[in-house]
Amino acid sequence: MLRSESVSASLVTIQRTVCVAAALAMLTACSTRLEPAPVIDRSGTPLSTTGVGSAQAVPLGPPPPGYYRVKPGDTLYRVALENGQNYRDIAAWNNLTNPNQIEVDQLLRVVPPGASVAASPPGVAAAPLGGAAVQSRPLGGPAAPGAASTPSTAAPPYGSAPAISSIPPQPGAVAGNVNFAWPVRGPVLNAFDEAKNKGVNLGGALGAPVKSSADGRVVYAGNGLRGYGNLIIIKHDATYLTAYAHNRTLLVKEGDPVTKGQTIAEMGSTDADKVMLHFEVRKQGKPVDPMKYLPPQ
């Protein structure tokens, strides 16, 4: 009887020893850090095994001819103006069911399908107007469609281009079949400066008539472009459009045909520190000096 109890005790001791040894082995295995095996591509070059978050973004190349890549702060209005198009046309060419939603880095067609384009369309890589990103803001009138999802901080669109009291008369330039006229009669407050002022600022009296510089059709009338106040954009042909900013009152609406010399607005100071008309001429979306297209005053 005593011998049987002794044997049983020995067996229990052996079992406990085995369990302790097994537990120690498991703890040792857990404390050993497992390094991931290197991933090898087919060329035999080890690839990084770090997390996905550490991967560097591949920079996007330039957009193909006839396309524009959306930047932070863009709106469909701005994209259209920079490329000399009607924003509704761009929405249609890109099948945008909701033109109020465009995304940063999205490619947008900015020329009609089937149209021939140069290797680098003039309007595609144009800088933001007045050196600032144009953004929509909650003002009266139509909401700016297509605000890109990432906001950007924008400075006032017009810099301190040199103020001048007069400019030597220059022969007016006939742009194809478009012959431009002065939209208002007044002093030139700020001259064209490609880096600071995308047009000319013209002085005048509050409420003075603002006239269409040439025949065309209104492609935008509202205040959805930051820094321009009440703005009218007129498309004259496939090449040229003109912009009229800071108006007090707009007298035409989007889609209206206009004739040269027709009153389209009343002069004002919306989004400006004084009464003035900011006037732009754009050739295929690229700002050009209006003084080269206007006759002597």
Kindly report, residue by residue over 31-72, the tens digit of the pLDDT: 444 444 444 444 444 444 444 444 455 678 888 898 999 999
Which sign, positive or negative, has the C-alpha torsion 294, 205, 223, 258? negative
CATH number, position 196: 2.70.70.10
Residue 289 C-beta-side C-alpha neighbours within 13 Å: 15
Is residue 185 situated within a structural domain?
yes
Mean pLDDT of 272-292: 96
pLDDT of residue 250 exceeding 50, the answer is yes
Is residue 31 situated within a structural domain?
no
Looking at this protein, which amino acid is placed at residue 99?
A: P
Q: Are 250 and 213 in contact (CB under 8 A)?
A: no
pLDDT of residue 208 exceeding 80, the answer is yes
Q: What is the pLDDT of residue 129?
A: 36
Q: What is the pLDDT of residues 1-22, one digit of tens each?
A: 545 555 455 555 555 655 555 5
Is residue 38 situated within a structural domain?
no
Q: What is the pLDDT of residue 211?
A: 98
Q: What is the pLDDT of residue 80?
A: 87
Using CA atoms, how far apart are residues 245 and 294, in angstroms rounded to an integer?
Answer: 18
Is residue 41 situated within a structural domain?
no
Is residue 132 situated within a structural domain?
no
Is residue 89 situated within a structural domain?
no
The total domain count for the chain is 1
Q: Which helix (H) or strand (E) holds 31?
A: helix 2-31
Mean pLDDT of 180-203: 95
Mean pLDDT of 145-171: 41
Q: What is the pLDDT of residue 215?
A: 98
Percent of the residues in the chain that have a pLDDT greater than 90, as a whole number: 42
Domain holding 259, by residue range, is 174-292
DSSP string, 130-151: GGS-----S-SSSPPS-EESS-
Q: Comparing 133-142, 174-183, 260-269, 281-290, which segment has the lowest mean pLDDT?
A: 133-142
DSSP string, 69-131: E--TT--HHHHHHHTT--HHHHHHHTT-S-TTEE-TT-EEE-S-TT----SS-TTTTPPPGGG
Mean pLDDT of 20-26: 51
Q: What is the pLDDT of residues 84-129, one digit of tens each?
A: 888 889 999 999 988 778 999 999 998 988 877 665 444 433 333 3
Higher pLDDT: 97 or 246? It is: 246
Mean pLDDT of 264-282: 97
Mean pLDDT of 128-156: 41
Is residue 230 situated within a structural domain?
yes
> Residue 274's beta-bridge partner residues?
none
Residue 163 CB contacts under 8 Å (≥ 6 apart), including other chains: 189, 190
Is residue 126 situated within a structural domain?
no
